[in-house]
Homo-oligomer: A and B are copies of this chain.
Amino acid sequence: MIQLSEYSTDPTESIEKEEAEEIRLKDLNKIVELQTRLFASKKKSLLIVLQGVDAAGKDGTVKKLFAGLNPLGCTCQAWKAPTSEELSHDFLWRIHKSVPAKGWTQIFNRSQYEDILVPYVKGSLHKEKLHSRLDAIRFFENFLVEENDTQILKFFLHISKKEQKKRIEERMQDPTKNWKFDPSDLEAHEKFHEYQNAYEFIFNHSKDSLPWEIIPADKKWYRDYLITKAVKKCLEKMDLSYPELDSSLGLPSLSE
């Protein structure tokens, strides 16, 4: 059973910022190379799911990760409140359309889990219904893994209520951050603990669900260090190789 209160949002004693940054840049270089292999071989795909409360650092994480990814083979989808067309379908309809094709890396900034979180906190759906939605997500994710060799990484950016407050205040006070402020941030801050409960509800749904990585995210450099490391490790495990030319072709002579 995962209880978020048992997970520190800032356990950065073990490593210095400078060292973490050095490792992160090396890992990012490795990611650049591996993602090119993934794209060249067109056999597997990678889906990175980022979740976290408001101001947890999802946008920042995307920005930092993208620096290491070739846009020719990598896209990011930020999920907002569903449109009326999306609402006229099941909640996985819009998600399924956006899963990565073979060779591609897709980052979900928010995801299918919003359709659990929001009704959980609002109390707008029965628990039973939320359980059946989580069953559907579990089946859907495992189906992508089995049917299309999609590797799925799910990160929860774990920040403290105090850190969230600080960031929301920055959004209100810093003219360069004003544009990120939304009055709903204040409500989300008030409901901080309800959201934590909703996440625990998700994490503890079923042992057959694909696992989450809970990322201590009060310090941005530490968050980026951990996520970069996890993405690199995942790509290494995918055993990616460049496709080989058919050797029977020989070396064709090209005109000079």
Q: Interface of A with B (CB < 8 Å)?
A: 42, 85, 88-93, 96-97, 99, 101-103, 132-133, 136, 139, 143-144, 146-148
Contact = CB atoms under 8 A, between A and B. Distances in A.
A148 B90 contact: yes
Given A139-B139, A143-B136, A146-B132, A99 B89 contact: yes
Contacts of A143: 90, 92, 136, 139
B97 A85 contact: no
B148 A89 contact: yes
Which 4 pairs across A and B sit closest by C-beta, in order of nearness?
Answer: A88-B101, A90-B147, A90-B148, A88-B102
Query: Which of A89, A92, A93, A136 counts the most B-chain CB atoms under 10 A from its CB?
Result: A89
Given A132-B146, A139-B139, A96 B92 contact: yes
29 contacts: A42-B88, A85-B101, A88-B101, A88-B102, A88-B103, A89-B99, A89-B101, A89-B102, A90-B99, A90-B143, A90-B144, A90-B147, A90-B148, A91-B147, A92-B96, A92-B143, A93-B96, A93-B97, A93-B99, A96-B96, A96-B97, A97-B97, A132-B146, A133-B147, A136-B139, A136-B143, A136-B147, A139-B139, A139-B143
